[in-house]
Structure 1
Amino acid sequence: MQIELIETFLDLCETKSFNQTADRLNITQSTVSGRIKSLEQTIGRRLFRRSRSGTSLTVDGLRFEPHARSLRHSWNTALQATRNSGPSGVSMRIGLQHDLVGLGFDRLIADCRAAMPDTAFYFEGDYSSQMCADLARGTQDLAVLYSPQTHPDIFCEAVAETHYVMVSTRFQNRTEIAPDSYILGNFAPAFALTHATLLPELSAVPLSVGQNAAMLDLLMSMNATGYVLAHSAKALVDAGHCTLVQGAPRITQPVYAGVNLRNRHRTPYKRLQKILRSHFSGWGADASLKDTVARTVQKG
């Protein structure tokens, strides 16, 4: 069976549209129809029902879908196995939420290599949506992310949490801040919801950014106010570039580890999850960061 037939079937399961699937796979609609027809002939069952209201899975299509996902994952796993270049032919591709790359990245790499010396690691910074898509396709082994997505092929669990605090180059108190001098951090949907609940007066502003690194640059270049990771806030305060804003709440962002469901109970993945939990929990519990925040709370 050609893997293109499986890929086309699974994409059509998501889009429910032959036109959209053709656009997403960069093929013609007739090619999509031909692949689905070929797959149905191979299986001997009708998989989709087309009507004026759209495209939907038949009962046989619903039964076939989880097996199609398994076939796609097995194919991607087989491809990875033939391309590995580590000492023992084992490699792990790990994705990290962009903001988490700066949290002792060298120590994280050292811990992973010490625990799994015969494994070749590939780390990359990315966004949650892309990492979830890669996990579902089987092209990524593990992801450390802010926003897990509900998907039948993905298992996510909370492993730690990070903290964001408000700093300013101009103001010392929350009551002094005007929306036009404030940069909204859009780091994750959970962060945005908490921010809107706690700081409704600062949730409709002209400028928003989605990365901690970008926020740091803009704070300095625009002489502004915004939320940054606690360890970044400490560095800015210690250097005399910013002050912690009094009366501004600390916002907690959960950190999740995600794997393909088939790998959930495999030893290498459980070992990596343990390392991640220890590493990021250590950053969340850093006493010096808590002291920095505590000093601001006491002043307020």
Structure 2
Amino acid sequence: MDIQLAKTFLEIMSAGSFQEAAKRLHVTQTTVTARVKSLEESLGCRLFIRNRAGASLTQEGERFVEHAKNLVFTWQRAKLDLSKPSEAAPGLVVGVENSLWNPLLVETINQLLVEKQNIVFDARIEEESLLIKQLDQGLLDAVLVHKPHYRSNLVVELLMEEKLIHVRSTKEPLPNLFIDWGNEFKAQYDAVLPHPRQQGFKTNLGPLALKVMLSQGGNGYFRTRVVQKYLASGELERVVGAPEFSYPVYLLYGEQAVSEALSRFTYALKQQSKTLDYWSV
């Protein structure tokens, strides 16, 4: 299949319309329409519903999203691998949950660069379920996630212990903020706390909620390493008697993915996990 068809499909999904996708891809809208028609004919189903508001995915389109991402990713990885001469630096493709890339992944890569570790590094920031699926498919060499996934062919290492603690602004304790730290956190939260989840403001992005709380006030659950400096400065305080929740970080990789590049990366990653005093976001 022409990889441009999958790229065009994903661009339309992201842009929300054929017209905007055409602008982003630097092609005409007629070209985009033709690509979608070709793709739909190849798959034997309709992928988009077009209306005045733009374009939305059909049920078949929603099911095709992960396939399209995998197709594009596999193609990019193949190009990267084949573009290197046989004596080139080893390559490593690592997937990371959104909440873990900064500063853990940033500082790990910085350390590898400072030490002049010659690695062709490819970092993929995705949601946990997609990372695990791509790891199972061999599209990723390793992943950083908050939940262990045990498989017979996977190595699972506990990288660091993190906690989610309830804090509030010392200036204004309201509104209640709810940060979605994943299904496991929500299950623990609902099981332990007698009251419903905070509904004053809800998001799945911790840095956004933290900025709102520091600016306007409020309370919610945040990672200890993130709020440590604000607790020390007196801007935030812990809510007395509130339960804590475990939020560990795991490194997962396939047994067949063990390589010199992965060993270098793992060593630097473990060093950074021990030396980072707090996380900025």
Q: TM-score range by the shorter chain?
A: 0.5 to 0.7
How far apart are the structure 2 equivalents of 1:140 and 1:215?
Answer: 31
Whole-angstrom distance in 2 between the partners of 1:158 and 1:86: 34
Amino acid of the structure 2 residue aligned with 1:112: L
Distance 1:110 1:254, change over 3 A: same
Aligned to 1:207, which of 201, 210, 217? 201
Distance change >3 Å, CA 31–CA 249, structure 1 → 2: same
Aligned 8 A contact 2:119 2:261 in 1 = no
Residue 254 (str. 1) matches residue 265 (str. 2): no
Summarize deviations over 1:87-119 as a string: whole Å, max 9, x none.
924332333322223345553223334667121
State the alpha-carbon separation in 2 of the partners of residues 93 and 134 from structure 1. Answer: 11
Quick check: 149-158 or 194-203, which moved more? Answer: 149-158
The reply to whether residue 226 of structure 1 matches residue 238 of structure 2 is no
TM-score (norm 1): 0.57
The answer to whether the aligner puts 1:31 opposite 2:42 as a matched pair is yes
Alpha carbons of structure 1 residues 280 and 197: separation in structure 2 relative to 1, 3 Å: farther
Q: 1:272: which partner in 2? A: 265
Partner-residue secondary structure (3-state), 1:101: helix
Uncovered stretches (5+) of structure 1, i.e. residues with no partner: 5-25, 34-72, 290-300
SS at match of 2:241: coil
Give the length in aligned residue pairs. Answer: 222
Cα distance per residue 1:171-196 (max 9 Å; x no partner): 89xxxx7xx83112211222222222
Partner of 2:131: 131
Counterpart of 1:65 in structure 2 is none
- The amino acid that maps onto 1:280 is S
Return the match for 1:241 from 235, 240, 249.
235
Decide whether the 8 Å contact of 2:168 with 2:238 is kept in 1. yes
Task: Report how far residue 78 of structure 1 moved.
Answer: 4.3
Work out the CA distance in 2 between the residues paired with 1:110 and 1:232. 20
String of CA shifts for 1:93-149, please: whole Å, max 9, x gaps: 333322223345553223334667121323354322332344345443322112456
Alpha-carbon shift at residue 156 of structure 1 (Å): 4.3
Q: Deviations over 1:176-219 (max 9, x none)?
A: x7xx8311221122222222223231426353221221121121
In structure 2, do the counterparts of structure 1 residues 76 and 147 end up closer, same or farther at CA, with 3 Å as the change threshold?
Answer: farther
* Cα RMSD (Å): 4.3
Residues 185 and 215, structure 1, Cα contact 8 Å, conserved in 2: yes
User: Could you list the per-position Cα deviations for residues 235-264 of structure 1 after superposition, in whole angstroms to 9, with x for gaps in the alignment?
Assistant: 21233321122112222112122334531x
Consecutive unaligned residues in structure 2, runs of 5 or more? 4-37, 45-72
Aligned pairs for 1:101-120 (under 5 A) are 101-113=101-113, 117-120=117-120
Residues 106 and 86 (structure 1), Cα distance of their counterparts in 2 relative to 1, 3 Å cut: farther
Distance 2:141 2:84 in 1: 13
In the TM superposition, residue 230 of structure 1 has moved relative to its aligned partner by 1.0
Give 3-state SS (helix, strand or coil) of 1:159's partner: strand
Q: Cα 1:236–1:197, aligned 2, differ >3 Å: closer, same or farther?
A: same
Aligned position for 2:164: 164
- 1:194 is the counterpart of 2:206: no
Per-residue CA deviation, residues 57-92 of structure 1 (Å, 9 max, x unaligned), is: xxxxxxxxxxxxxxxx99876443114599924332
Contact map agreement 1:94 1:140 (CA 8 A) in 2:
yes
Matched AA of 2:227: A
Q: Distance in 2 between matches of 1:87 and 1:213?
A: 42
Partner in structure 1 of residue 58 of structure 2: none
CA contact (8 A) 2:90 2:119 kept: yes
Structure 2 residue matching 1:27: 3-state secondary structure: helix
How far apart, in 1, do the equivalents of 2:89 and 2:230 lie? 43
Distance in 2 (alpha carbons) for counterparts of 1:110 and 1:260: 24
Which SS does the other structure have where 2:81 is aligned? Answer: helix
Deviation, structure 1 residue 226: 0.6
CA contact (8 A) 2:176 2:220 kept: yes
Instruction: Give the residue type in structure 2 aligned to 1:162.
Output: E
**1:17-96 to 2 correspondences below 5 Å:** 27-28=39-40, 31-32=42-43, 78-84=78-84, 88-96=88-96
Letter in 2 for 1:107: E
